[in-house]
Amino acid sequence: MAALDHWHPVLPARQLSTKHPVGITLANQRIALFRSNQGTIGAVNDCCVHRRASLCRGRVVDGRLQCGYHGWLFSADGEAESPGTPKMRATTTSYDTVEKYGYVWLRARGSQAKLPQFNTDGYEYVCTLDQAVDAPLELVLDNFTEVEHTPTTHANFGYELSRMSEVQTHVESTDASVRVVNVGPQKRTPWIIQALAGLRSGDRFTDDWTTYFSPVYSVYDQFWNDPKTGIERRDRWRIYVFFNPLEPGRTQLVVFAYLRATTPARAAFIRATRPLLKRIVNVEVQCDVAMLESLADKNPSIEGMKLSRFDRVLGMQRERINRIYYGKPQACSANAASMAETV
Ligand code: FES
Ligand SMILES: [Fe+2]
């Protein structure tokens, strides 16, 4: 498989009208999205096969995308028609699309990749964030799959620096996934965050995630327990983070955040405080983005890095990115896997 073969969340569905196309980039490919007839979503290469105009600068006419240069019309399946030469036949590359979880998802035609399924029963939707980061996919994923940075990089969610040595981190993996479970003392946070996020400074904080590679995404379960009684606090987050490579050295984060709601009243409260909760999530994401964009060296290779016990997954993830996501030959994978063993 190649990167474009996997389903990726590429655009909030509400941004797509029946009048104007929207251009996106994924895996270094420019693609024009538009709402076609019957409300389905068309996706074609953003380069007109006639004389290479950008199709996302055109408009949607009767469910087809019209190029702004000479008016050729493109259907959702990539069939092109020239108003001036109607007997001529032309096609362009088109993509499978689906609208789910408030997003437009896209993959290459003919791919057998499965759409990621969210398991959010008992949870209330909080927010979706979409953020481009000037850093390569591997380094962005590295940041989101270790907790050693949370005391110093993050504002509120994470572990206490002076007690970082107490944090336990457990790794388990399958051929297609890497899971990490971290447990340790929650860092000091302002009372307003504690009240809104349902935690206390010094709580036993569990950050349990699994990373998958078709496409590359991690699913986080975050919750807190009273350190004395062991009783779990009120809130439990479930967060899906997708890592879309846009172009070399640039990655799009798409974050879907949910919060457990055990009663209808709690669900209503979450809905009422969504803007605040979204801000809390966004603050943490921006902390990561600022750190990633300021890295002194953005070479994605782990060779030469002095890795700690929290970095055991870095090599495993590169092996799975190469093998599952990019579909590279096994020889590369074996090399990366052996690097993972030595971490
Ligand atoms: S370049 Fe698109 S119609 Fe001519
Ligand atoms: Fe982080």
Phi, psi (deg, nearest 5) at residue 208: -120, 115
Task: Pick from 59, 69, 74 the residue to mutate for probing ligand 1's pocket: most ligand atoms within 8 Å of its CB.
Answer: 69
Ligand 1 mutation target, pool 47, 64, 66, 67, most atoms within 8 A of CB: 67
The whole-number pLDDT of residue 1 equals 83
Please identify every stretch of the chain with a pLDDT value under 70, giving residue numbers as ranges. Answer: 330-343
Which stretches of the chain are DSSP H helices? 137-144, 150-153, 191-197, 264-272, 274-293, 313-320, 330-342
User: Quick one: which atom of ligand 1 is closest to the CA of 71?
Assistant: 3
pLDDT in tens, 282-299: 999 999 999 999 999 999
pLDDT of residue 337: 46
The number of the ligand 1 atom at minimal distance from the alpha carbon of 67 is: 2
Question: How far apart, in whole angstroms, are the C-alpha atoms of residue 134 and residue 284?
Answer: 17
The amino acid at 123: Y
Mutate to test the pocket of ligand 1, among 50, 55, 65, 82 (most ligand atoms within 8 A of CB): 50
Task: Kindly give the distance from the C-alpha atom of residue 146 to the centroid of ligand 2, in angstroms, as a whole number.
Answer: 8
Is any atom of ligand 1 closer than 6 Å to the C-beta of 67? yes
Nearest CA owner, ligand 1 atom 4? 70
Angle at 125 between CA 123 and CA 128, to 5 degrees: 140
Distance 129 CA to ligand 2 centre (A): 14
Identify the bridge partners of residue 206 per DSSP, sorted by sequence position: 183, 223
C-alpha 285 – ligand 2 centre gap (Å): 7
pLDDT in tens, 238-255: 999 999 999 999 999 999
pLDDT of residue 229: 96
- Any atom of ligand 1 within 6 Å of the Cβ of 89: no
Q: How far is the CA of 154 from the centre of ligand 2 (A)?
A: 6
pLDDT in tens, 109-140: 999 999 999 999 999 999 999 999 999 999 99
Q: Give the separation between CA 269 and CA 167, rounded to whole angstroms.
A: 32
Ligand nearest to the CA of 82: 1
Give the whole-number percent of the chain exceeding pLDDT 70: 96
Who surrounds ion ligand 2 at CB < 5 A? 288
**% pLDDT > 90, the chain:** 90
Helices 274-293/137-144 angle, 10° precision: 130
Q: Which ligand is nearest to the CA of 44?
A: 1
Domains and CATH numbers, the chain: 3-108 (2.102.10.10), 123-342 (3.90.380.10)
Contacts of 279 (CB under 8 A, 6+ apart): none
CA of 24 relative to ligand 2 center, distance in Å: 26
